[in-house]
Amino acid sequence: MSMPTDIDQYSRYIYMERPEMEAENLSPLIIERVKRLRAIFSYWQEFPTKTTREIVTHDMQLHKIKISQAYDDVHLCQLLLGNVHQATKEFYRWKINVDLDEDIRKARVKGDFRAVAALEAVRVKNNRTDKDDEPELEFDKIIPQNFVPTDDPSVIGIKKVPGLRDRIRRLEKKYSNGAIEDAEYVEIKDDEESNDGTKRG
């Protein structure tokens, strides 16, 4: 089985026990990578201020792998961490809403409407219902810029030099006859130094 690159697949594998992965006939390479991802994940959770480079070095030293593979591991782990953190955030938002519902119910029973109003304000802040929804980016409507190669300098604001091409052809014809001539030269020696370290002209 080939090495999957789909993050959804690894999102599922990361929580599976080894017998479960073997039951799905995952290759040893995938199982080893899942083990590395778990190690990176745990290390990063324990030391969240570590830089990407430090995590890469840790992965290389711990698992005896090359730098390119370590960077791939860390990149994939970053994607998985993002998913986990997003899920965790949604969970806590849901939990806060449940707790707020219970607190608001108790406040209503007691007739403490000032507390109800304060709790409702907290609910609004928790769910961000006081803010406009972020617009969805319509990536499918983005039209890539079509670049056409050109040797016309005027497209970047440089004025054309009249007759430049003819001049280039003349110079090429003049200096590109292919003959190599030996040039005369004079060897220049370093100034001799006197006994006291000063140079003599």
Cross-strand pairs, 112? none
In this model, does residue 132 exceed pLDDT 60? yes
> 193 forms bridges with which residues in the sheet?
199
Write the single-letter amino acid at 33.
Answer: R
pLDDT tens digits, one per residue of 61-79: 999 999 999 988 888 888 7
- According to the per-residue pLDDT averaged within each range, which of 35-39, 127-131, 132-136, 137-141 is highest? 35-39
